[in-house]
Amino acid sequence: MNIKWNWGTKLVIAMAAFMLMILTFVAFMVRQEVSLVEKDYYPKGQAYQEMIEKTQNTIPYASEIVVSYDVNFVYVTFPSFFRPGAVKGEVHFYHRVSDVNDFFSDLILDENGVFSYPVQRLRGRYIIKLDWEQDGIEYYTEKNLSIE
C-alpha cells in the first residue's frame, strides 16, 4: 500500500506535532516547583538602607568574624570588641537551594565570644546571616559555610 502525502497532510501533521510539543512543555512547567529566594522580599527591599548601615558598622570587624566547624558544631568566633553579655541578635542559616533547610537561632556568645550551633541539622551550602546589636549599634554580616 503506497500512501501519497500531499502538502496539506504534511502541514496538518507538522501542526499536530508542534501542538503536542507545546502541551508537553506546558505540562512539564506546571509541575515544576518554583520557590522565591525570599518569601517576604518586598518588606526586606524597603529596609535595604537600614541593612546597608548595619553592614557599614560591621566593616571594621568583618574580617575578624570567623566561621569554622567540626564534627559536632559550627562555630562563629567574634572579636573581643563584642562582649558576650551585651550582644543580642539572630543567626539565620540560609540554605541556597531550598528554604525548607533554613534554620534560625538566637545569637548567644559564650565567655570566649564564640557562638556554636549543632552541625547535625546542617548539610550543604549555607550563607550564615548574622544580625546583632551591641550598645544600641546594629551590625550585620554574611559568611559562607559548606558542610558535606
pLDDT digits (tens, 9 = 90+) for 51-87: 889 999 999 988 899 999 988 899 999 998 988 888 9
Give the CATH number, domain containing residue 135: 2.60.40.10
Asked if 7 and 68 sit in the same domain, the reply is no
Q: What is the pLDDT of residues 103-120, one digit of tens each?
A: 899 999 999 899 999 888
CA trace torsion 71, 93, 87, 108 (10° rounding): -40
Q: What share of the chain is helix, strand, coil (3-state, %, to 5)?
A: 35, 35, 35
Tell me what the pLDDT averaged over the chain comes to: 87
Its domain, for residue 58, covers: 41-147
Given this model, what pLDDT does residue 16 score? 97
Residue 122 backbone dihedrals phi, psi, to 5 degrees: -105, 125
Q: What is the pLDDT of residues 84-100, one digit of tens each?
A: 888 999 999 998 787 77
Asked if 54 and 11 sit in the same domain, the reply is no
Give the residue among 99, 85, 103, 97 at the shortest CA–CA distance from 125.
97
Asked if 93 and 28 sit in the same domain, the reply is no
Asked if 97 and 124 sit in the same domain, the reply is yes
Helix boundaries (H) for 31-107: 41-46, 48-58
Count of structural domains, the chain: 2
Asked if 1 and 23 sit in the same domain, the reply is yes
Given this model, what pLDDT does residue 115 score? 92
Asked if 10 and 47 sit in the same domain, the reply is no
Asked if 18 and 70 sit in the same domain, the reply is no
Asked if 28 and 46 sit in the same domain, the reply is no
